[in-house]
Amino acid sequence: MVVKKAILAAILALALGGLAMPAAAQAPEGPFAQDFRLLTPPVPAPLEVFQDLEGATLRLADFKGKVVLLNFWATWCAPCIREMPALERLQSILKAEGLHIAAVSIDRGGKDMVTRFAKKLDLRGLPLYLDPKAALARAFGVSGLPATFLIDAQGQVVRMMLGPAEWDSHAAVGLIRYYLNSDTQRKGMGSSS
């Protein structure tokens, strides 16, 4: 419940457009960073379950140790459709550096609808997941699509964005790479003690 309240407060601040959130130390600045709002303090990712395309039940905690870009979308959402190829390109750019994109569909049509959609857009490398009852989306307080959250390797939600983005842009790649590098440095410091 605390997680949902913190995320809802950030969504409200974003919707009102006036509340500035402090930037992360040394994180890249600019319009993209301002749109991809920093959550201060970060909050633990919700525990609700979702599914992969094979029907296996997952939780975001299953990705602990990885930086995750969680994107809620639907096949009927025009802005979602426009940003999906950019998400796939981002996955190919940063996968080797440790980024995992979780593109979570809230479509009630399930696997068949999502796989047909992916085939139509020729999405081959983007990890797609299902949340047909929108339990995970509700836990995040999602009220519009697309909605995207950045979760650090410790399982903390650190950034959020409502609406579409150019995820493969230089600014987006740089900002996400900052979190990938921060987590890599943290792991390196932890292993030397």
pLDDT in tens, 152-177: 999 999 999 999 999 999 999 999 99
Examine residue 105 and state whether it is found in any structural domain, yes or no: yes
Percent of all residues in the chain with a pLDDT value above 90, rounded to a whole number = 76
- Taking residue 118's Cβ as centre, other Cβ atoms within 10 Å add up to 19
102, 70 in Cβ contact below 8 A? yes
- Angstrom CA distances, 34 to 29, 80, 103, 110, stand at 7, 20, 22, 34
CATH number at residue 116: 3.40.30.10
Examine residue 107 and state whether it is found in any structural domain, yes or no: yes
For the chain, count helices (H), then strands (E).
6, 8
Examine residue 21 and state whether it is found in any structural domain, yes or no: no
**Helix, strand, or coil (residue 158):** strand
Overall domain count for the chain: 1
pLDDT (0 to 100) of residue 79: 97
pLDDT (0 to 100) of residue 186: 60
Q: Rounded CA gap, 118 and 116, in Å? A: 5
Examine residue 57 and state whether it is found in any structural domain, yes or no: yes
Mean pLDDT confidence for 55-82: 97
Q: Which of 9-18, 98-107, 177-186 shows the lowest per-residue confidence on average (mean pLDDT)? A: 9-18
Examine residue 135 and state whether it is found in any structural domain, yes or no: yes
Asked whether the predicted pLDDT for residue 53 surpasses 90, the reply is yes
Examine residue 11 and state whether it is found in any structural domain, yes or no: yes
pLDDT in tens, 80-92: 999 999 999 999 9
Mean pLDDT confidence for 22-44: 79
Mean pLDDT confidence for 36-44: 95
Q: Which domain holds residue 181?
A: 2-16+28-191
Examine residue 169 and state whether it is found in any structural domain, yes or no: yes
Confidence band for 31, pLDDT divided at 50, 70 and 90: confident
Examine residue 22 and state whether it is found in any structural domain, yes or no: no
